[in-house]
Amino acid sequence: MIRINNQKKAAKKNFFYQFLPLFLVFLLFMFFRFNNFGNRIGFGWDQEQYTTQVRQLIVDHKPVLLGPRTTNDRGFFLAPYFTYLITPFFLLTNLHPYAIGIFLICFNILFFIGSYYILSNLFSKKTAILFLLFWSINPIAARYDSVAWWPIFIPLGTLMVFFVLKKIFNDNRLTDWLILGILCGFFINMHVQFAFILFFVLISIFLHQNVLINLKNKLIFFIAFIIMFTPLIIFDFRHNFLNTKLLLSFFSKGIADVEPWFFNWTLPFKNVTQPIILTKNVLMIFFFYIAIAFSQFLLYRKKRGYLKNFYLAAFILWMVFPLIFGIYGQRPSEYYFMFLYPFIYITLIEILLLYKKKLLIFIFIILFIINLRPLFFNLQDDKYSLKFKDELIRKLTDRTKGKKFNISFTTSVGSDAGFRYLIKYYKIHYTGDWKDPLVQIKIPANNKCRIKVNEMGVIIPKELL
């Protein structure tokens, strides 16, 4: 009886010490993503685009074949999987865009649980907790984790690919090849940066086995990958291969009139590495780049089985990505580098666990202190958030009910995004006739504005007062 009681106490103690750190990391993770979230939910051009598509799906029963467009109006389209994924959340809110807030909370919980499960299986529970700990205090990751748009899926997709590749390495089952093809096709349609992960997958497969071995499995992978482009294929057949022409033009003519420069990618890359090395100094960034490469190669020499393959493929990707961005020649945004963060953090954590475990806590404390300022900056109110835009349009609804008028926007380019959907949602019927009294939504607001919310305002003509 005494032995049983001791075993129970030991089990409770192990449970406590195992899950308490994970729970504390979860609280830290959620705090820097959702504190003051109601005042920070963005509702810009991207959000209005897919929100309008969701409305077409639910209200007009109109299927969507096109998703986000790469770069600008010269870019090609990706598949609309994000639109379909977020639709159930809009059903919960009866089409109110607060649905994107519910989605973000659910997705981040999924990312946290999924990352822990995947990394604890691939590496160790310690690596998984440390990864989430460092991810929690990265201000760039925290900022992009709080935006309801397509790139949010890339880090999770990267980790999922790691997991499936291990299963293929160990078991080589047909279903795993099918899942890998679906994952690669799905996530590359979330954002084109996942093409780098597709490159990583192909390198991993090549390193694992001869290309001519298991052709059936590789064919299944390829077919599953192509099937994920079905909406775009249907669209092209209906519209004289318009998207294919845009894709070819993207590579042949480019997407901007600006002369490409090989080192354009280094400018946002400095911002991406700053939360980790705490500087934008070019020499320090170069040493950091070399240190990651050296660590990956060293881990490749030390590890066995799948992890040996993993680190070699990661090393090759690390060597190649600057060349690809250099050939692209245009300045990418910081989120184009989100696929690198899992590689960077896994490499740093694993190399320190191998050689300098005690440094990990010291490094975390330094990063936490230095990154506190940008982390709390992320938590400040967004003056043009969904909440404040919604408040402005609700006030406009009360002032114009039952009246005949038209609406115009006096804003900088892109600042009018989000208002049109909210106007439709609140059933504000305006004529579109410029002879009617003109209601002006103005940013920034001025003294003529009868309605003001932060720096947004509405000028209401005398005829409606």
Q: By CB neighbour count within 10 A (0-12 exposed, 13-18 middle, 19+ buried), where does 412 fall?
A: exposed
- Of 4-18, 64-78, 283-297, least confident by mean pLDDT is 4-18
Tens of pLDDT, residues 10-64: 555 666 667 899 999 999 999 999 999 999 999 998 999 999 999 999 999 999 9
Side-chain half-sphere CA neighbours of 37 within 13 A: 19
* pLDDT score, position 401: 87
Q: Where are the domains of the chain?
A: 13-378, 386-464
pLDDT of 74 over the 80 cut: no
* pLDDT score, position 413: 81
> How far is the first Cα of the chain from the last one, in angstroms, to the nearest whole number?
83
Is 51 in contact with 149 (CB distance < 8 Å)? no
* Average pLDDT score over the chain: 91
For the chain, what percent of residues have pLDDT higher than 90? 75
Strand partners, 459: 440
Tens of pLDDT, residues 220-260: 999 999 999 999 999 999 999 898 988 888 777 766 666 78
pLDDT of 6 over the 60 cut: no
* pLDDT score, position 394: 94
In whole angstroms, give the CA distance from residue 271 to residue 405. 47
Q: What are 139's two structure tokens?
A: 């201000």
Tens of pLDDT, residues 114-130: 999 999 999 999 999 99
Is 148 in contact with 34 (CB distance < 8 Å)? no
* pLDDT score, position 210: 67
In whole angstroms, give the CA distance from residue 330 to residue 255. 9
Side-chain half-sphere CA neighbours of 462 within 13 A: 0
Q: What are phi and psi of 455, to 5 degrees?
A: -95, 10
In whole angstroms, give the CA distance from residue 84 to residue 88. 8
CA angle centred on 286, ends 193 and 158, rounded to 5°: 25
- Of 10-19, 405-414, 419-428, 443-452, least confident by mean pLDDT is 10-19
pLDDT of 444 over the 60 cut: yes
Mean pLDDT for the stretch of residues 438-461: 92
**Helix or strand (DSSP H, E) at 433:** none
